[in-house]
Amino acid sequence: MEFTAKQIAGFLDGVVDGDPEALVNDVSKIEEGRPGTLTFLANMKYQHHIYSTRASVVLVNNEFEPTEPLKCTLVRVEDPYRCLAKLLALVEKRPNRSGIEPMAFVHEEATLGTDVYVGAFSYISRGAKIGNNVKIFPQVYISEDVVIGDDTWIYAGAKIHNNSRIGSHCVIHSGVVIGGDGFGFAPITGSDFAKVPQIGNVVVEDNVEIGTNTTIDRATIGSTIIRRGVKLDNLIQIAHNVEIGENTVIAAQTGISGSTKVGKNCMIGGQVGIIGHLNLADGTRIAAQSGVTQSIKIENTAVQGSPAYEVIPYQRSYVYFKKLPDLVDRINQLEKSKH
């Protein structure tokens, strides 16, 4: 399907700067632009690519002013990245399936809504309640008494364990495990441990997306809670009784220990480690590879490092840290000169 720059601008409430009849039928990265494709420029760090790109149409910010001649047509919008996401959602091809494939198992005491799809080798247990237009792809396991809201998609190989509650309009990617056993052990005599039964559940609210191979453990008592609008990347570990606040985003390989409460609208980078029983205020931002060992009580605080502390003092300290070998050499030379 082809679109003109004029049509794209109309859909995005943008303005064409160049040829309104420029045609595109695909998308590309700006540095790899090809004729007939659309790309975008959201970060001015990559501005130099716009002067050499072969893409036909480029989404740019309304305030963008070129400093060299352009070969492409511009569509000026308020936010190029969000507008690209809007376009990609329009053309995304998601398989709209319904019905139960022959090799799937659905227990007679499970309840399914309308337009549900259940792929081959999936298993839906006794007492499960599946909403309308839910898509369950092959090899998914839905345990007893699980509830899944309308319009949720669960991709191949995901596992949802006993009594978990999944909201509407969620996306659960392949390999996700929701409601697995929490890591609870009590030390006893010697070096042995007694397992503490994990009898709680997991609650995932509406409009949550959970990336591939992420694990969310059920609570020891009560619920592990993922609030509405949360976006989790791949390979994240969320332990028992953790609560993630609304619209928080977490990047890959982050681990959050038991009973920690993460506030609303937080941003957590990749490979972050957060110890248990902490409280992170709304709007907290944690840089990648940080280790958080204390609660963060002030909203919209940015931290970095391990142990993590406020980002500006950390970055100042790091300047000195890098110079430590030279400083040590200078001190040694001074000590020698005294003798």
CATH code at 189?
2.160.10.10
pLDDT of residue 318: 87
Q: What is the mean pLDDT of residues 252-264?
A: 98
The region of weakest confidence among 41-50, 212-221, 330-339 is 330-339
Residue 336 included in any domain: no
Average pLDDT of the chain, as a whole number = 95
C-alpha distances in Å from residue 117, one per residue of 25, 77, 177: 31, 38, 20
Last residue of a domain, one of 45, 71, 91: 91
pLDDT of residue 88: 87
pLDDT of residue 268: 98
pLDDT at 191 over 90: no
pLDDT at 7 over 90: yes
Tell me the C-alpha distance between 38 and 5, whole Å.
Answer: 9
Kindly report, residue by residue over 94-140, the tens digit of the pLDDT: 777 899 999 999 999 999 999 999 999 999 999 999 999 999 999 99
39 within 8 A of 33, measured Cβ to Cβ: yes
Residue 242 included in any domain: yes
Q: Are residues 158 and 60 in the same domain?
A: no
pLDDT of residue 339: 67
Residue 335 included in any domain: no
In the residue annotation, 240 being an active-site residue is answered as yes
pLDDT of residue 189: 77
Q: 106-118 in b/e burial notation, b at 16+ Cβ within 10 A?
A: beeebebeebbbb
pLDDT at 153 over 80: yes
Q: Are residues 260 and 151 in the same domain?
A: yes
Q: What is the mean pLDDT of residues 255-278?
A: 98
Q: 286: domain range?
A: 99-314
Q: Please give the tally of structural domains in the chain.
A: 2
Residue 331 included in any domain: no
Residue 333 included in any domain: no
**DSSP state at residue 281:** -
Q: Are residues 82 and 109 in the same domain?
A: no
Q: What is the mean pLDDT of residues 305-322?
A: 91
Tell me the C-alpha distance between 247 and 241, whole Å.
Answer: 18
- Residue 323 token pair: 């110079």
pLDDT of residue 67: 93
Q: Are residues 204 and 236 in the same domain?
A: yes
Share of the chain above pLDDT 90, in %: 85
Kindly report, residue by residue over 193-251, the tens digit of the pLDDT: 999 999 999 999 999 999 999 999 999 999 999 999 999 999 999 999 999 999 999 99
Q: What is the mean pLDDT of residues 303-329?
A: 90
Q: Looking at 48, 161, 173, 240, which residue is catalytic?
A: 240
pLDDT at 154 over 70: yes
- Residue 182 token pair: 């929490």
